Every structure is written in C-alpha cells, then in structure tokens.
Amino acid sequence: MNTEMFIQHFFNALALGSLYGLIAIGYTMVYGILRLINFAHGDIFMLGAYFVFFSTISFMPAWVAVLLILLALLIYYSVFIGFKKRPEFYWITILLSLF
C-alpha cells in the first residue's frame, strides 16, 4: 500500500466514523430527551443519504437546497412548536403519525 492510498483510506475512514458518531449522537439525544427509542432513526438517515446522493449526481443548484431548508423550518415551526408545551402523550402521537 503506497502513501497516497493510505491517506485516501484514512480520510474515508475518518468521514465514515464521523457519520457514525453523528448517528449515535442523534440516538442518544432522542432517547435522552423523549425517553423513547426512535426505530425510524435509521430510515430517516437513509432517506437523507439517498437525497444527498441523488442531488449530488444531478447537480442540484444551491438555491433548491435553501428552499428545502426553508420548507423544513416552516414545517417545524408550524407543527412541532405548538406541541412542545403539551404532555408526553401528544409527542407519542406525533411520532407515530409520522409513519
């Protein structure tokens, strides 16, 4: 194995390890806050991975990504903020209704 190949594998492993770390942080945050195991966490991660993959190979413009971010914020503020002050039962209902 030459040096160039080693460096490439090192950075690939670093990127993949960082990705696994972010997934683990997401799991612990959801469980730590809601005390509920989100079995759809991996599915949501895969949807995001597919979206990034297909947007990369189709050369999606940056303004489309900004519009999608604004849409996600609109959904968050219109749906989830109203339920923050309600009991846990509503959170369970919301989580189950997403699927």
Residue-range domain boundaries for the chain: 15-60, 61-99
How far apart CA 26 and CA 5 sit, in angstroms, is: 32
CB 41, CB 23: distance < 8 Å: yes
- pLDDT at residue 42 in the model: 81
- pLDDT at residue 8 in the model: 96
- pLDDT at residue 86 in the model: 67
Provide the 3-class DSSP secondary structure of residue 38. coil
Q: What is the mean pLDDT of each run of 10 residues along the chain (99 residues)?
A: 93 94 88 79 83 83 85 80 67 68
- pLDDT at residue 49 in the model: 84
CB 80, CB 97: distance < 8 Å: no
- pLDDT at residue 88 in the model: 66
**Nearest alpha carbon to residue 73 among 45, 85, 65, 99:** 65
- pLDDT at residue 58 in the model: 84
Query: For tokens 């996600």, what's the residue?
Result: 72
Q: Roughly what angle, to the nearest 10 degrees, separates helices 3-34 and 88-97?
A: 130
